Chains A and B, each alone.
Chain A
Amino acid sequence: NAGVTQTPKFQVLKTGQSMTLQCAQDMNHNSMYWYRQDPGMGLRLIYYSASEGTTDKGEVPNGYNVSRLNKREFSLRLESAAPSQTSVYFCASSRLAGGGTDTQYFGPGTRLTVL
Chain B
Amino acid sequence: QKEVEQNSGPLSVPEGAIASLNCTYSDRGSQSFFWYRQYSGKSPELIMFIYSNGDKEDGRFTAQLNKASQYVSLLIRDSQPSDSATYLCAVNPVSNDYKLSFGAGTTVTVRA
Residues of A within 8 A of B (CB): 33, 40-45, 48, 58, 90, 97-109
B104 A98 Cβ-Cβ under 8 A? no
Chain B contact residues, CB within 8 Å of chain A: 4, 8, 31-32, 34, 42-46, 49, 51, 88, 90, 92, 97-100, 102-105
Contact A42 B102 (CB under 8 A): yes
Give the residues in chain B near A106, CB-CB below 8 Å: 43-45
Q: How far is the CA of A30 from the CA of B71 in the complex (A)?
A: 30
Task: Give the residue name and chain of the A residue nearest to B8 (CB).
Answer: A40
B105 with A100: CB separation less than 8 A: no
Report the nearest B residue to A109, measured CB to CB. Answer: B43
Given A41-B104, A106-B43, also A98-B88 (CB < 8 A): no
Please judge, given known A-B contacts A42-B88, A42-B105, A103-B49, whether A98 and B43 are in contact too, CB under 8 Å: no
Which residues of chain B come closer than 8 Å to A45, judged between CB atoms?
A: 99-100
Q: Count of A-B contacts with CB under 8 A?
A: 54
Question: SS class of chain B's interface: helix, strand, loop or mixed?
Answer: loop
Enumerate the 8 nearest inter-chain pairs by beta-carbon distance, A residue then B residue, closest first.
Answer: A98-B98, A42-B104, A106-B43, A43-B102, A42-B102, A99-B98, A106-B44, A101-B32
The 8 Å CB contact of A97, one of B42, B88, B90, B99, is B99
Contact partners of B32 in chain A: CB under 8 A: 99-102
Nearest CB of B to A33, in Å: 8
Question: Whole-angstrom distance between the alpha carbons of A45 and B100 in the complex?
Answer: 8
Q: Which residues of A contact B31 (CB under 8 A)?
A: 99-100
In the complex, chain A residues whose CB is within 8 Å of the CB of B99: 33, 45, 48, 58, 97-98
Is the CB–CB distance between A43 and B92 below 8 Å? no
When C-beta atoms are compared, the residue in chain B nearest to A111 turns out to be B41
What are the residues of chain B within 8 A of A43 when measuring CB–CB? 44, 88, 90, 102
